[in-house]
Amino acid sequence: MTPMTPASDFCQRWSDRVGSWRHRSEGGFDRSRYDVAAIDERTARSYVETHHYSGSYPASSLRYGLFEGPELVGVSVLSVPVRAEVLTGVFPQLAPYQESLELGRLVLADRVPANAESWMLARVFELAAAEGIRGIVSFSDPLPRRKATGELVMPGHVGIIYQGSNAAYLGRGRARWLTMLPDATVLNDRSIEKVRKAQRGHEYVERKLVEYGARAPRACEDGASWLSEALDTIGATRIRHGGNHRYAFALGGPAERKRVNKMIPIERGSYPKAVDQAA
């Protein structure tokens, strides 16, 4: 994949977890050929896990597909964050999960022409508003991702699609350390905790690490000790992340959007234009 400047006029596309780019100057997006509609959980999960670079699927609430005729060529997932504060910190007067959600995934196939993202988002937000959603929080990840081989998987992005959709920019989220696996996916803190404390779901995480080349844990072996050895064996790395860029969208009619925008307590900043230093 040829690296592009994420703050430029290039639109990112995904196929089998490999990114590609379309330039806005290509044009070619004919909205009359496309439609956006609600889709089921199984369809959305399969599409996202197959094509998104992370290979992961969030805890979804609402799911929408971009269709070219009968063919699914994109998915947007409005999801439930782990902590309600992700939503209430931006929309304090909206009921989290009922009136506010996170834009967890937006994945378009590489065959979709440039300039489709903002159109799809507008349709998704109209449909979500009809379900009672009035606020959306979205994050863009500015940290590039590389496999252990050096291959660039995700060049980092600063939310140009959200900027083009007039989202409010709310600064950066919490800085943290990431545990990066050899294929550039992240082993999140919750998965790490499951293994260390033998909590429910630890077997799935352990099997995943064994697939990367770690030995299987022995019966009654201390989870924390095994995890440390496993991560070292497979060549996992720790990377400092400066925090994702945060954006907010107000949904509904003009009066509703005005009301929601007024409740955002965070001072809005200028849109970011540069990604972080490559990992």
279 residues of the chain, pLDDT tens digit each: 334 444 445 455 545 555 555 445 455 678 899 999 999 999 999 999 998 877 788 999 999 999 999 999 999 999 999 899 999 999 999 999 999 999 999 999 888 887 788 899 999 999 999 999 999 999 998 888 888 898 887 778 888 888 888 899 999 988 999 999 998 888 989 899 999 999 999 999 999 999 999 999 999 999 999 999 999 999 999 999 999 999 999 999 999 999 999 988 777 778 988 888 755
pTM for the predicted model, two decimal places: 0.81
Rg (CA), the chain: 19
Torsion of CA 145, 89, 78, 2, to 10 degrees: -20
Q: What domains lie within the chain, and their CATH numbers?
A: 10-175+242-263 (3.40.630.30), 178-238 (no CATH)
Count Cα neighbours of 207 within 13 Å in the Cβ-side half-sphere: 4
Query: Which of 137, 119, 174, 116 lies closest to 61, judged by CA?
Result: 137
Residue pair 215/227 in contact (Cβ under 8 Å)? The answer is no
